[in-house]
């Protein structure tokens, strides 16, 4: 059986991206399920791979050739440009149907900023490149399907940015994605924003004014919402009763439990794009970049998911 081609970007070259890509694409687990297409700057890739050697199952695409030194462990304009060029190239390959899906190694928001990119991260950049208006950031860890309504925001801004329409849209996109996998209407738990779900307005009105109305709309449209709970209660119920999808209002409501449960298995999936895009559930890890100690487990998992859907 012909294995699918998967576009894999090297991420920010000042971080652990190129290292974990090298390890992941050479692992037997990955080699069994796909034909990796490694995309990035020629000089960066040459540091990790012998590009003159004929690899049995790995293809290289050079999205840039800056021939400039990248300082390991530090965000910079050049590392941001290298990361951006690789992403653009991988998106084009997926849109042109040359690769089945796309896996992105971690990028730095600081490097993006230095490179002049106005987007806060991969998800928003991919939305713009593919002209996709509606998308969401899911995190999948073994049998746990989760999604966050707001993504990379300071905690102080979450309440003001949280909108009823975004809650509805996020649940729809993620539930429809899970439905395709499970072949049934998923059971969904939704987390409150405030402690004790706002305590009837004493600790905040977000639940009464935004989240509950969103749930009512979703139920009318046939989505199987099983409850609004404070985040601690929601996670306990989700794990005990094996629900299909948990929805958090902000980043750490999802990431903190997953990092405690099984950090090596976390895969970031962007739902709503014209193709499947995944990435490992961690960042650039500048503090260990260049030390050859990075764990490629999450990167392997991201590639496997992009190849097989599980």
Q: What is the pLDDT of residue 42?
A: 97
Which range, of 75-79, 88-92, 120-124, 199-203, averages the lowest pLDDT?
A: 120-124
Q: What is the pLDDT of residue 55?
A: 82
Q: Are residues 293 and 257 in the same domain?
A: no
Q: What is the pLDDT of residue 215?
A: 98
Q: Are residues 10 and 125 in the same domain?
A: yes
Q: What is the pLDDT of residue 205?
A: 95
Query: Are the CB atoms for 288 and 250 separated by under 8 Å?
Result: no
Average pLDDT over residues 251-268: 95
Domain range holding 238?
A: 143-261
Q: Are residues 209 and 81 in the same domain?
A: no
Rounded distance between C-alpha atoms, residue 36 and residue 117, angstroms: 27
What's the mean per-residue pLDDT of the chain? 95
What would the pLDDT profile of 34-83 be if each residue is shown by its tens digit? 999 999 999 999 999 988 887 879 999 999 999 899 999 999 999 999 99
Q: Are residues 126 and 17 in the same domain?
A: yes
Q: Are residues 4 and 131 in the same domain?
A: yes
Average pLDDT over residues 207-232: 97
What would the pLDDT profile of 110-151 be if each residue is shown by its tens digit? 999 999 998 878 888 999 999 999 999 999 998 999 999 998
Kindly state the percentage of the chain with pLDDT values over 70: 100
Q: Are residues 154 and 248 in the same domain?
A: yes
Q: What is the pLDDT of residue 1?
A: 65
Q: What is the pTM of this model?
A: 0.91
CA distances from 147 to 35, 115, 150, 167 (A): 29, 29, 9, 10
Q: What is the pLDDT of residue 152?
A: 85
Q: What is the pLDDT of residue 2?
A: 85
For the chain, list the strands marked E by DSSP: 5-9, 35-41, 59-64, 101-104, 136-141, 144-148, 187-191, 224-229, 245-248, 266-271, 277-280
Q: Are residues 91 and 178 in the same domain?
A: no
Q: Are residues 123 and 147 in the same domain?
A: no
Q: Are residues 93 and 238 in the same domain?
A: no
Q: Are residues 257 and 269 in the same domain?
A: no
Pair of tokens at residue 153 = 């925001």
Rounded distance between C-alpha atoms, residue 282 and residue 105, angstroms: 9
Q: Are residues 96 and 161 in the same domain?
A: no
Residue 190, domain CATH: 3.40.718.10
Measured between alpha carbons, how far apart are the two ends of the chain, in Å?
A: 18
Q: Are residues 271 and 130 in the same domain?
A: yes
How many domains does the chain fold into? Answer: 2
Q: What is the pLDDT of residue 106?
A: 96
Closest CA to 16 of 283, 303, 266: 283
Query: Are the CB atoms for 159 and 208 separated by under 8 Å?
Result: no
């Amino acid at each position: 059986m012909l294995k699918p081609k998967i576009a894999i970007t090297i991420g920010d070259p000042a971080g652990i991206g190129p290292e974990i890509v090298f390890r992941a694409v050479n692992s037997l687990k990955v080699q069994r399920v796909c034909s990796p297409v490694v995309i990035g700057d020629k000089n960066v890739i040459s540091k990790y791979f012998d590009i003159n050697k004929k690899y049995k199952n790995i293809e290289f695409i050079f999205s840039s050739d800056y021939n400039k030194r990248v300082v390991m462990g530090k965000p910079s304009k050049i590392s941001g440009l290298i990361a951006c060029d690789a992403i653009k190239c991988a998106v084009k390959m997926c849109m042109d149907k040359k690769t089945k899906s796309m896996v992105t190694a971690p990028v730095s928001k600081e490097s993006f900023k230095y490179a002049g990119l106005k987007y806060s991260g991969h998800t928003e950049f991919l939305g713009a490149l593919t002209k996709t208006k509606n998308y969401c950031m899911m995190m999948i860890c073994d049998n746990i399907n989760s999604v966050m309504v707001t993504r990379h925001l300071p905690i102080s801004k979450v309440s003001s940015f949280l909108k009823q329409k975004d809650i509805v849209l996020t649940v729809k996109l993620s539930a429809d994605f899970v439905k395709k996998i499970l072949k049934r209407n998923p059971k969904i738990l939704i987390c409150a924003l405030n402690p004790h779900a706002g305590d009837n307005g004493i600790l905040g009105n977000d639940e009464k004014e935004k989240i509950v109305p969103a749930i009512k709309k979703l139920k009318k449209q046939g989505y199987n919402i099983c409850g609004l709970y404070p985040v601690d209660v929601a996670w306990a119920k989700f794990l005990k009763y094996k629900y299909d999808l948990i929805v958090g209002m902000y980043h750490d409501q999802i990431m903190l439990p997953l990092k405690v449960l099984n950090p090596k298995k976390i895969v970031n999936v962007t739902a709503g794009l014209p193709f499947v895009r995944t990435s490992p559930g961690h960042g650039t890890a500048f503090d260990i970049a260049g030390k050859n100690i990075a764990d490629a487990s999450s990167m392997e998992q991201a590639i496997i998911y992009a190849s097989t859907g599980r």
